Structure 1
Amino acid sequence: MKVLVTGSSGWLGRSLVPRLAREGHEVVGLDPEPGATTSVVGSVVDRALVRRVIRDEGITAIVHAAARHKPHIGTHDNSEFVAVNVQGTLNLLEEAAAPGSTVDRFVFTSTTSLMISQKIRDGKAGGADEAVWIDETMAPFRPRNIYGVTKLAAEELCRLFNDLHRLPVVVLRTSRFFPEEDDMAHAIAQSGENTKANEFLFRRLTVEDAAEAHVVALAKATEIGFDTFIVSAPTPFRREDCRGLIADAPTVVDRLFPEYRALYAKRGWTMFDSIDRVYDAGRAARVLGFTCRTGFREVLEALR
């Protein structure tokens, strides 16, 4: 395939572009920032550029990973999120579906963040008596910030273009894989690495696994037609753990991984007192055929 990857200079793009190349695909990277994995410097907001790249390069597949992300909320205004996340997505979809286009599949990088309301985020402090179990059946959504609102709007555009034009689209709602420090909702004072390790229990994956999920989605898109998947490390928890997770998360984790306390103690690490949500990526395993390779068990093995 001749694959256009947007956001190719970003954290995901730098892993995804070489991974697609190893798969035998010819990749065109598009990003406003130059980089080793970017061949066209520019933005998805530039409709003429998007049209030119898709047509002149003979693009047959698009992976749309470019976005203004949650860490940008403090540095970019709302209109920038709308321009990149909504208008940029529309530009790509319209050019992909235009007469004469050779694009036959589209993979959209979305986020589990759009599923989290302020009430869920408040967790135990907001009076919740159990963690929220989150899978693809969850509805309705009440995103708590401009990032979530614009990604949800972009998802709806993907659905619409599949309805109207039968463009195969796979939407991947990835949980956290960014390297930036936590937003303090569950922050641990000792280290960002401690926080990230804990998150593999319920809301994180590696960037390598995120890239691999996109490779699988690209291969399955025409077979699937349209679908949305949560992509996150497999959680060791079950629904019946949710009450214990909100009240006393370390006790639940200790029951499942009794060795974790000693491994953590050697580094001065601690577990979150309370966990407010659990992302269930089981449907991605069953339908898409993808499961993250790295989870909390692998994190503990690495600590050994």
Structure 2
Amino acid sequence: MRVLLTGSTGWLGRYLAPMLRGAGHQVVGLDIVPGDDTQIVGTVADRALVDRIFADHGIEAVIHAGALHKPDIVRYPRQAFVDVNVSGTLNLIEAAVAAGNDRFLFTSTTSLMVRADVRDGAGAAGAWWMDEDFGPLEPRNIYGITKLAAEQACRLVHREHGIAALILRTGRFFPEDDDTLAVPGGLNLKANELLNRRLTVEDAAAAHLVALERAPDIGCDTFILSAPPPFARDEAADLARDARAVIARHHPQAEALYAARGWVLPERIDRVYDPSRAERRLGWRASTDFGSVLAALADGTSLPFAHDPHYTSPIVAQRRHRRADDLCTN
């Protein structure tokens, strides 16, 4: 298929584009920043550009992975999030319907599920067990609000026109350090998050590839993408009280392996993302989980996830280069 991939210069795009080509698809990359897999530089908020792309390239399917993200809140006004994340999504899926496409993938985020009370910590029953039926959804910032609105737009167009629309709520897979949590930081934090809220970028890309193939058979559904947690739902209360004891039940070697590295396990876990629907309906399961981390620690091999504290998103890097150029010109 000829697949339009938005966000092709971004972290997910640079892994997903080669994977799509390896599966025999032709990839047309669209991003506001140039990149190796980006053939068209522009914004999804430009409906005329979107229509030209479909007409000129014979697009047969869309993977909409481009967006303004949470770190962009400090750089862009709210209206920009509406223009890109909501209007841009509508532009794409409506163009896909007009072109007769039968499938559309929307890369969403588990972040929109984090209400104020979830952000504050565990609930009365213990750790929040967050599957696709978790609600009510009350996003806490403009990023989450616009991603939820875009999800609803996809569902609306599916109901009205029948195009298969799969919504993939990804857990964390960014390579840089967390922008709010510092202790533990870096590698230790990412390893811990594979217990309950993270997946690798390779697994995120693989999920999109599977979803692209399965979409017409499924129709419309929402899927959480995260590494499979080792815990069961009935352990939620224990996770909020003493996560280390629960981890020891499933991975008794974890504490010693962590201690040898100078790492710490989480004392409490306040939320768990449940990706079991993706396994049941898509046939996708993340290949990297917390056990993979422990295996690497035991064997002394490389950790199975990307970590780059100096990583800068392409859009931020471009803005810095422009400011530097302006200073040189002045």
Give the TM-score category using the shorter length.
Answer: over 0.9
- Structure 2 unaligned residues grouped into runs of 5+: 299-330
TM-score (structure 1 length as normaliser): 0.95
Amino acid at match of 2:52: R
Calculate the TM-score normalised by the size of structure 2: 0.88
Query: 1:243 & 1:183 partners in 2: Cα distance?
Result: 28
Structure 1 residues 55, 102: closer, same or farther in 2, change over 3 A? farther
**2:216 maps to which residue?**
222
Is contact 1:58-1:102 (8 Å) kept? no
State the distance in 2 between where 1:95 and 1:284 align. Answer: 27
Which of the residues 151, 167, 175 maps onto 1:171?
Answer: 167
- By how many angstroms is 1:129 displaced? 5.2
How far 1:103 sits from its partner (Å)? 2.0
Structure 1 residues without counterparts, runs of 5 or longer: none
Which one-letter code corresponds to 1:22 in the other structure? G
Structure 2 equivalent of residue 97 of structure 1: 97
d(CA) in 1 for partners of 2:169 and 2:185?
A: 26
Q: Is 1:6 matched with 2:44?
A: no
**Contact 1:190–1:268 at 8 Å: present in 2 too?**
no
Aligned to 1:231: 225
- Would the alpha carbon gap of residues 72 and 128 (structure 1) be closer, same or farther in structure 2, given more than 3 Å must change? farther
Q: In structure 1, the residue corresponding to 2:3 is in which secondary structure?
A: strand
Q: Which among 267, 273, 288 is matched to residue 273 of structure 1?
A: 267
Distance 1:5 1:131, change over 3 A: same
Cα distance in 2 for residues equivalent to 1:273 and 1:35: 41
SS in 2 for 1:266: helix
Indicate whether 1:111 and 2:105 are aligned.
no
Q: Distance in 2 between matches of 1:132 and 1:257?
A: 21
- Identity level (%): 56
Equivalent of residue 242 in structure 1, options 236, 244, 248: 236
Distance 1:236 1:115, change over 3 A: same
**What displacement does 1:227 show?**
0.8
For each residue in 1:66-94, what CA deviation from the matched residue of structure 2 results, as whole angstroms up to 9, or x when unmatched? 01112222222211211111011011011
RMSD: 1.2
Aligned AA (2:154):
C
**2:54 equivalent in structure 1:** 54
Aligned to 1:152: 148
* Cα distance in structure 1, aligned partners of 2:182 and 2:124: 21
Shift of 1:16: 0.3
Deviation at 1:249, TM superposition (A): 1.2
Provide Cα deviations, 1:47-76, integer angstroms capped at 9, x if missing partner: 111110011100000000001112222222
Cα distance between partner residues in 2 of 1:295 and 1:119: 27
2:192 corresponding residue in structure 1? 198
Counterpart Cα distance in 1 of 2:226 and 2:252: 23
Residue of structure 2 equivalent to 1:138: 134
Provide, for residues 226-282 of structure 1, a one-character-per-residue CA deviation record: whole Å limited to 9, x for no partner.
111111100101111111111111121122111111111122111122111111111
Paired letter, 2:169: R
Question: Which residue, 108, 119, 122 being the options, matches 1:121?
Answer: 119
Q: 2-side partners of 1:267 and 1:71: how far apart?
A: 30
Deviation for aligned residue 1:150: 0.5
* Structure-1 separation of matches of 2:82 and 2:164: 24
Aligned equivalent of 1:295: 289
CA–CA distance in 1 between the matches of 2:196 and 2:31?
Answer: 31
1:31 aligns with 2:39: no
How many Å apart are 1:190 and its aligned residue?
Answer: 4.5
Q: Secondary structure at the match of 1:110?
A: strand
Are positions 1:68 and 2:72 aligned together? no
What is the CA distance between 1:128 and its match in structure 2?
A: 4.5
Query: What is the aligned partner in structure 1 of residue 321 from structure 2?
Result: none
Which letter does structure 1 place at the counterpart of 2:240? I
Name which of structure 1's ranges 286-295 and 257-266 shifts more when overlaid on structure 2.
257-266
Is 1:180 the counterpart of 2:173 in the alignment? no
Q: What's the counterpart of residue 253 of structure 2?
A: 259
Amino acid at match of 1:154: A
Deviation at 1:36, TM superposition (A): 0.4
For residues 107 and 135 of structure 2, the distance between their equivalents in structure 1, rounded to whole angstroms, comes to 19
Relative to structure 1, the CA distance from residue 129 to residue 166 in structure 2 (aligned partners, 3 Å threshold; closer, same or farther) is closer
The 8 Å contact of residues 45 and 83 in structure 2, kept in 1 or not, is answered as yes
Stretch of structure 1 that moved more, 67-76 or 223-232: 67-76
Q: Give the Cα–Cα distance (whole angstroms) in 1 for the partners of residues 125 and 119 of structure 2.
A: 13
> What's 1:81 paired with?
81
Q: Would the aligned equivalents of 1:5 and 1:62 in 2 still touch at CA under 8 Å?
A: yes
Whether the 8 Å CA contact 2:178–2:185 is kept in 1: the answer is: no
